[in-house]
Amino acid sequence: MNAEFPATEASSLVDTVFREEHGRLLASLVSRFGDLDLAEEVTSEAVEAALTHWPRQGVPDRPGAWLLTTARRKAVDRLRRDRTLALRVAVLQAELERTELVAPSSEVSDFPDERLQLFFTCAHPALPAEARGALTLRCLAGLTTLEVARAYLVPPAAMAQRIVRAKKKIREARIPFRVPASDELPARLPGVLQVIYSIFTEGYAASSGATLQRLDLADEAIRLAWILHRLMPAEREVTGLLALMLLIHARRDARTGPSEELILLQDQDRNLWDRELIDDGQRLVVQSLSGGPAGPYGVQAAIAALHDNADDFTTTDWPQIVALYGVLLALDPSPVVAMNRAIAIAMRDGAQAGLELLDELAAEPRLREYHPYAVARADLLARLGRRDEAETAYLRALRLAGTDPERNHIRRRLTAISTDVDEQ
């Protein structure tokens, strides 16, 4: 034990340890007891115990292991109160004591596979799509229900119900707490990656609200991706996703101005980009593209790396980006990818070439309510001098935009068009 210290410092340390170790704690407890609700309850009780004991007795040398041992004992105590579970408790108690005799100083990090189990349980396809990200943030990132509610911009009560329903679904559908078998993994892993990327996307470009970015949410997604990468280092798409998020997140400080105004890529101060994140991302891109055919996340990461490597917007390697979007479109033939490829072609071959490709996508249902599509068309129309059509497209984008910075940016573009007309 370390020397005792003030309760405020103990509280801060408990919070730090809890945030770092929460996923490991919960995964280990769920694996041991098979009950997510019980695991969460005793984890909270262990934290309360730490807040009581650490200021008086000092901080243990291995605080994560202390929390795990305390939570296990509290779980056994809870189960012991139910006489119908007496046999199960006896088995668990014997197993617990045997574990502590063999490795009394074991760290929580000794249980990596259990975190993998929790990853795949939270992102199980049997759960509703809107519940997967919420449950992942709650269980693996250690966010409170209130924090998860804020992340998804829903009332706390509604988020609490969503999480309760997801846990109930896990129980009733008997969703197993396990890593899929090797023959199941290729089908299940993309779902886990999509949950993490959805969390990051909401942090990078919020769907609604007063701010464009929600950096805490993006940071949590990257933290989850690092965990998954350490647990599955040979999975190249896990590496690709992590690289992609790092390379995009590196631009975070340059994406908005002092008044939260949106700053487009071509106008960003690249001196504000985080070179350390870019270096990490580029190293991971190479890993994700080595050893076999590229996956969608690896290709997207390569595109992001080309943007980050350019000294300025005009020297961006647009021919290579167009080629990579062609590869990505073959791997993931979605209208959003086709839209991004059209924008890249506009940068390579001119606005008219890009606009023709965008217009071919006009009937795509996913793009009808997608404001970046309307903005892209408006920008190309403005570049071609077709101001009336550009104004109509900007007004449509204004109706579809979800955040104040995006709406304000579109209003500035409308003002610029009007100014150009007045000066002629």
**Per-residue pLDDT at 222:** 93
Q: What are phi and psi of 317, to 5 degrees?
A: -80, 75
The secondary structure of 116-168 as a DSSP string is HHHHHHHT-TTS-HHHHHHHHHHHTS---HHHHHHHHTS-HHHHHHHHHHHHH
Structure tokens, 261:
């105004």
**Per-residue pLDDT at 105:** 38
Q: Split the chain (424 residues) into runs of 10 and give each run's mean pLDDT.
A: 56 68 80 83 84 80 84 85 55 49 39 73 87 86 79 83 91 84 83 88 70 78 90 93 97 90 93 97 96 92 96 94 96 94 97 98 90 95 95 94 88 85 48
> How many other CB atoms are found less than 10 A from the CB of residue 187?
10
Compute CA distances 326 → 55, 323, 364, whole Å: 59, 5, 19
Report how far apart the first and last C-alpha atoms of the chain are (Å, whole number). 78
**Per-residue pLDDT at 240:** 97
**Per-residue pLDDT at 103:** 38
User: With 0-12 CB in 10 A as exposed, 13-18 as middle and 19+ as buried, what is 51?
Assistant: middle
For residues 341 and 68, give the distance between their C-alpha atoms in angstroms, rounded to a whole number.
49
DSSP 209: B
Would you call 358 helix, strand, or coil by DSSP? helix
Locate the domains of the chain by residue range: 7-110
Contact 354, 380 (CB under 8 A): yes
Non-local (6+) Cβ contacts of 301 within 8 A are 240, 241, 243, 244, 247, 281, 284, 285, 288
Structure tokens, 277:
């994140």
**Per-residue pLDDT at 146:** 83
For residues 105 and 16, give the distance between their C-alpha atoms in angstroms, rounded to a whole number.
20
Non-local (6+) Cβ contacts of 422 within 8 A are none
For residues 145 and 17, give the distance between their C-alpha atoms in angstroms, rounded to a whole number.
19
Residue-wise burial string across 130-161, b where 16 or more C-beta atoms lie within 10 A, e elsewhere: ebbbbbbbbbbbbbebebbbbbbebeeeebbe
Would you call 291 helix, strand, or coil by DSSP? coil
Contact 71, 29 (CB under 8 A): yes
Q: What are phi and psi of 110, to 5 degrees?
A: -75, 0
For residues 72 and 24, give the distance between their C-alpha atoms in angstroms, rounded to a whole number.
13
What pTM was estimated for this model as a whole?
Answer: 0.76
Contact 413, 371 (CB under 8 A): no
CA torsion sign for 44, 49, 54, 55 is positive
Residue 350, sorted as left (phi over 0), alpha (psi -120 to 50) or beta, turns out to be: left
**Per-residue pLDDT at 9:** 62
CA torsion sign for 259, 265, 267, 269 is positive
